[in-house]
Amino acid sequence: MTDRPATYLYLYRYRFAGEEAGEGRLEVRPQGEGVKATLVAEVNLPLSRTRQRWLTETDREGFSRYFSERVEAREARVFTVERLEEEGVVLVTQGKESLALPYLVPYHDPLSLLLALPRLSLEPGEVARFPMPGGRAYVERLPDLEVEGRLRAHYRLRPGLTLVQLEEGLPVRLAQQVGDHVFEAVLEGVEEPKRRRRWV
């Protein structure tokens, strides 16, 4: 997914407990040696309705350089993580509070990890561990799935126990247990955004 040279827009449909639960738009574009990806999601759950915006900027290897998450419900919450290599720190900011953590090794954020899945060389049963600010993430390769005659790579991500299916390198289905029900994101289509007209 991160190997595509052009800008692409991925359109997702959300379902919760089998019912429609909103939609999301993931735009991935080249930026410097890495990519910039922005996910804008409208999520409609039975007891809450939120608008979420996730943004990641990665380095050449696909690790996170900058990540932000904005959740708008009754009030807006903003969370950012920025890698400041020259200062040797990772700056974590939530609202008006900031915390500087030592920068030790490259790490992933939730969105950069999803984008990195197609590049992993894991056999079924193998597990990879990746640093994340304040913790770590595990990616387990599960046996491949065949859906409508097409083969899909299958992964389990922890924490969160998210199941991800990839088809031709694209995340086509994500599923996560939320309470007693399953929240799903299903890829509906891929577009190449129209070039914006630039006035000189």
pLDDT class of 197 with cuts at 50, 70, 90: very low
d(CA 140, CA 128): 7
Tokens of 184: 């799903």
pLDDT class of 75 with cuts at 50, 70, 90: confident
d(CA 157, CA 162): 5
Which string of DSSP letters, residue by residue, matches 109-140? Answer: -HHHHHHHGGG----TT-EEEEEETTEEEEEE
| Whether pLDDT at 85 is above 70 | yes
Contacts (Cβ under 8 Å, ≥6 apart) of 163: 142, 154, 155, 156, 157, 173, 174, 175, 176
pLDDT at 111: 96
Quote the pTM value.
Answer: 0.88
| Whether pLDDT at 2 is above 70 | no
E strands, the chain, are: 8-16, 19-31, 34-45, 48-58, 64-72, 76-84, 89-94, 97-102, 127-132, 135-147, 150-158, 162-167, 170-178, 181-191
Check: CB of residue 197 under 8 Å from CB of residue 14. Answer: no
Tokens of 41: 């999601």
Check: CB of residue 89 under 8 Å from CB of residue 103. Answer: yes
* CATH architecture group of domain 8-187: Clam (2.50)
